[in-house]
Amino acid sequence: MHAFIFPGQGAQFSGMGLDMYEKSSIAQDLFEQANDILGFHITDVMFEGTAEALKETKVTQPAIFLHSVILAKTLGDSFNPDMVAGHSLGEFSALVANGTLNFESALQLVSQRALAMQKACELQPSTMAAVLGLENELVENICADTDGIVVAANYNCPGQLVISGEVDAINKACDALTEAGARRALVLPVGGAFHSPLMEPAREELADAIENTTFNEPNCPIYQNVTATAVKSAAEIKNNLIAQLTAPVKWTQTIQQMIADGGTEFTEVGPGKVLQGLMRKINREVTANGASFQEE
């Protein structure tokens, strides 16, 4: 079975999407629609902006979504997923890929999500840290024993877990994790505690937007971050998407479940190769590659 997977924040790069815009009328039309929907020329930032300009959350999230979804739409008949999944933000790209959301609704939700997350980040000093070389359970226990808010946020691959929370709590947890034998416990250059209880204000804001958006029954199952299992019900997809902002991204568990359910070929659709790298660390037995833009 062929699985298509979609990257999240961090995969952006200067010039992203320009080749598609120049060589595909489908891409050009969708990029222009996006400029109208967002109310600013995101194409200017994507095609010509600096890395710093692309890091701004209100730009980053729609930019990665657009690159992923537009690339998928240029693949033609070769894009025929049996199953889909997306890492955090990538879940919205995956929901367009399997027909649950249309392009316009998904882009509006992504934009609202980015702005809501930015606001939540500004309410309290918070951050995330990557922890390498420890068992998940040990990391979870150390987080639980640390004063303040700090939780496991991204289960990226075996031996790589990202934690999220208040700045002081993250620093204390990193010290304790290093003492416990972590190969690295490194604070990341992010402006907030994504996938933690500190995103509750954003979750509430996004919940209203999601409840007021039409979700179709999917063409194929999506393996969602919150459950790491196949979901085929539009109502269940909505609930999981709302829960996603404050819950961990169970990416390792998601990929393992997709393989257990028959996934043999995985194609990453979007900027960068982050998910292909994680795939190799999760399971080397299945093939993982990146989608190549098809010129018209």
Q: Supply the residues annotated as catalytic.
A: 88, 195
Question: What is the radius of gyration, based on Cα positions, of the chain?
Answer: 18
Three-point CA angle 199, 136, 282, nearest 5°: 100
* Other beta carbons less than 10 A from residue 122's beta carbon: 11
Whose tokens are 């000093």? That residue is 125
CA separation, residue 30 to residues 15, 20, 42, 131 (Å): 17, 11, 12, 38
* Other beta carbons less than 10 A from residue 190's beta carbon: 18
Instruction: Provide φ and ψ at 249, rounded to 5°.
Output: -90, 110
AA letter at 165 = G
